[in-house]
Amino acid sequence: MENARQYFGDGLPYQNLNELKGKLIAIEGTDGVGRSTHIEMLQEWLEVQGYGVVTTGWTRSNLMSKTIEMAKQGNILDRWSFSLLYATDFADRLEHQIIPALRSGFIVLADRYIYTAFARDFVRSGDRTWIRDVLGFAVIPDLVCYLRIDVDTLALRVIETKGMNFWESGMDLRLGGDLYDSFKKYQGLLIEEFDKMAEEFTFEVVDARKPPEEIQEALRLKIEPLLKNGRAQLAPAGTGSPVKESATAPPAS
Amino acid sequence: MTPPLVTFNQPHPFPGKLIIVEGIDGSGKSTQVLLLQKWLTSKGYNVFFTEWNSSELVRETTRRGKKNKSLTPTTFSLLHATDFANRLYYDILPPLKAGMVVLADRYAYTAFARDAVRGVSPPWVRKLYGFAIRPDMAFYFKVPIEVAINRLLGGMRAQFKYYEAGMDMGLSQDMTESFRIFQARILLEYDKIVSEYGLITMDATKEIEEQQNDMRQLVSTALEHYKPKRGTHGKRETVFWRRFAVPKSE
């Protein structure tokens, strides 16, 4: 049974969604929760089974990645510019990577999706309406897996691995006196909002405090039903990238 | 952290005044707003000026997108909204809050008209600009398409700009013809916007000084109860605060 694909809000009048036969799977969760590691493992797992896989990640568009990098290094942006830069990046990837890949029958693994933008904008503004309107052109994913973690475990994990950075600590918001306090408050607010959205948009919640192999197993269990439904229509692996643009995109990691 | 009290649907609460001009390329709106600025400055007002699509951010990114032919109607629209947000925050809000006069050459209405013609959903683009400040006065310089073409070809510029002519839309290989088709569609959108948002329509076929006199009359009535505020130091007319740098296109 194939449900009709839908836009989140006001869609793209010039794009037809009817022929998007691939599957769109979004992996959501806050910074440092292990999304990219699991996406890499999922890609491997799916390709071994013969499915064509395309991955796409936040700020990885050809159009915007440099601009966003520079903007982050420079002045602190206002809320609207901040969210609009990410929205532009997302639109570019949606139209040049995600939609063409789905049209060719690939499984698209998205490292973050519009819900990350919703959480970040809400934490900065207290307003949910505007950003949801802006990202109304997004295609609703077939599945959203939410890697859920508590902020204490997250803080320890981030310190042990890559360390805390300015943006992941929400330092532009000045929520705490130092990086650590700010990180805890900022990530706490993001997780709170993700939890609310998990109910509102029926995310599949995966406990990200567990060992990596258990998390991976849980993710595969959530994804499997989707594959059985659409197996016949999916493209075989090894047919290459469906779009030229993604050939130059950095690998998912 | 507090929700914005300012929305596009209601008058802004700031002591300054925001006056904007709209119209297609060749309508003469930029000339008119320049003359208005001269007049206001000579009257002792502290005036700031900002124009559409003027941040480096959009110029550089648009250039990159144009080179790869990768801009879609939606990314085109979002890039301009980003530019607008940035200018609103750095160039428009501070002087308005400080009680000064801000003049804008094109405003959100330009996006409502153009982006709809390029193919995005009209309700979407209106919501996109939901954070914009409603201007105190909005002038629309209405001109027939042929008059605009003659002005542009016979005037100082003597050529069309790529995006103004809608060359990215593949309407015609001939730039003049493409401009005619594209801008004619924009004129239709402007007509809807004028009634939707109550823009003041100016007859842009009149002589320059005649239009300017009409405009000054309307502005001076609107500013009757406005108490100008000004600093004691020298003034800068455009860039208010430093903006972030952007990468140069490869």
Per-residue pLDDT, averaged over A100-121, amounts to: 97
User: Is B55 part of a structural domain of the chain?
Assistant: yes
Q: Report long-range pairs for A131-135 (Cβ below 8 Å, ≥24 apart).
A: A131/A83, A131/A87, A132/A8, A132/A9, A133/A9, A133/A10, A133/B124, A133/B127, A133/B128, A133/B130, A134/A83, A134/A84, A134/A87, A134/B78, A134/B127, A134/B128, A135/A8, A135/A9, A135/A87, A135/A90
- The whole-number pLDDT of residue A1 equals 43
Q: Taking CB atoms and an 8 Å limit, are B127 and A125 in contact across chains?
A: no
Chain A environment of B60 (Cβ under 8 Å) = 67
- The whole-number pLDDT of residue B146 equals 93
Lowest model confidence (mean pLDDT) among A73-77, A221-225, B85-89, B206-210: A73-77
What share of chain B has pLDDT > 90, as a percent?
A: 63
For residue A241, pLDDT over 80 is answered with no
User: Is B100 part of a structural domain of the chain?
Assistant: yes
**A92-108, pLDDT tens digit by residue?**
999 999 999 999 999 99
The answer to whether A248 faces chain B, any CB pair under 8 Å, is no
The answer to whether A27 faces chain B, any CB pair under 8 Å, is no
Rounded Cα distance, A147 and A168, in Å: 17
Query: If you search the block for the tokens 């006069």, which residue do you land on?
Result: B101
Chain B interface residues facing chain A, Cβ-Cβ under 8 Å? 1-4, 57, 60-61, 64-65, 68, 70-75, 78-79, 81-82, 85-86, 88-89, 119-121, 123-124, 127-128, 130-131, 242-247
User: Is B4 part of a structural domain of the chain?
Assistant: no
User: Is B5 part of a structural domain of the chain?
Assistant: no
- The whole-number pLDDT of residue A242 equals 45
What share of chain A has pLDDT > 70, as a percent?
A: 87
Q: Which of B91, B115, B131, B250 is best to mutate for the A interface (most A CBs within 10 A)?
A: B131
CB-based contacts of A132, cutoff 8 Å, min separation 6: A8, A9, A118
- CATH number of B161's domain: 3.40.50.300
- The whole-number pLDDT of residue B65 equals 78
**Contact predicate B163/B114, CB 8 Å:** no
User: Is B9 part of a structural domain of the chain?
Assistant: no
Q: Which domain holds residue B22?
A: 18-222
Which residue among A75, A87, A173 places its CB closest to the CB of B243? A75
User: Is B1 part of a structural domain of the chain?
Assistant: no
For residue A201, pLDDT over 90 is answered with yes
CB-defined contacts A:B, below 8 A: 108
Chain B environment of A96 (Cβ under 8 Å) = 70, 72
SS3 B202: strand
- The whole-number pLDDT of residue A162 equals 83
Which residue among B68, B127, B247 places its CB closest to the CB of A67? B247
Lowest model confidence (mean pLDDT) among A154-158, A231-235, B12-16: A231-235
Per-residue pLDDT, averaged over B122-127, amounts to: 96
Per-residue pLDDT, averaged over A22-45, amounts to: 95
Tell me the shortest Cα–Cα distance from A42 to chain B, in angstroms. Answer: 30
Distances (CA, A) of A61 to A183, B150, B236: 27, 41, 37
Q: At B52, phi and psi to the nearest 5?
A: -55, 140
Q: Taking CB atoms and an 8 Å limit, are A10 and B121 in contact across chains?
A: yes
Domain count, chain B: 1
Rounded Cα distance, A167 and A61, in Å: 19
Q: Which residue of A has its CA nearest to B89?
A: A78
User: Is B228 part of a structural domain of the chain?
Assistant: no
The per-residue b/e assignment along B9-39, b for 16 or more CB within 10 angstroms, e otherwise, is: eeebebebbbbbbbbbbbbbbbbbbebbbeb
Q: Which of B6, B69, B82 is best to mutate for the A interface (most A CBs within 10 A)?
A: B82
- The whole-number pLDDT of residue A215 equals 97
Distances (CA, A) of B234 to B38, B46, B102: 16, 10, 17
Query: Which DSSP category does A51 fall into?
Result: B
**Contact predicate B114/B186, CB 8 Å:** yes
The answer to whether A134 faces chain B, any CB pair under 8 Å, is yes
User: Is B171 part of a structural domain of the chain?
Assistant: yes
Lowest model confidence (mean pLDDT) among A208-212, B79-83, B245-249: B245-249
**pLDDT band with cut points at 50, 70 and 90 for residue A180:** very high
Per-residue pLDDT, averaged over B158-175, amounts to: 82
**Contact predicate B110/B52, CB 8 Å:** yes
Full set of structural domains in chain A with CATH? 23-150+200-232 (3.40.50.300)
User: Two tokens at A118?
Assistant: 């919703």
Q: Which of B43, B35, B50 is nearest to B208 (CA)?
A: B35
**Contact predicate A188/A151, CB 8 Å:** yes
For residue B238, pLDDT over 70 is answered with no
Per-residue pLDDT, averaged over A216-235, amounts to: 79
Q: At B233, phi and psi to the nearest 5?
A: -100, 175
**B180-192, pLDDT tens digit by residue?**
999 999 999 999 9
For residue B34, pLDDT over 70 is answered with yes
- The whole-number pLDDT of residue A186 equals 95
Q: Taking CB atoms and an 8 Å limit, are A137 and B74 in contact across chains?
A: yes
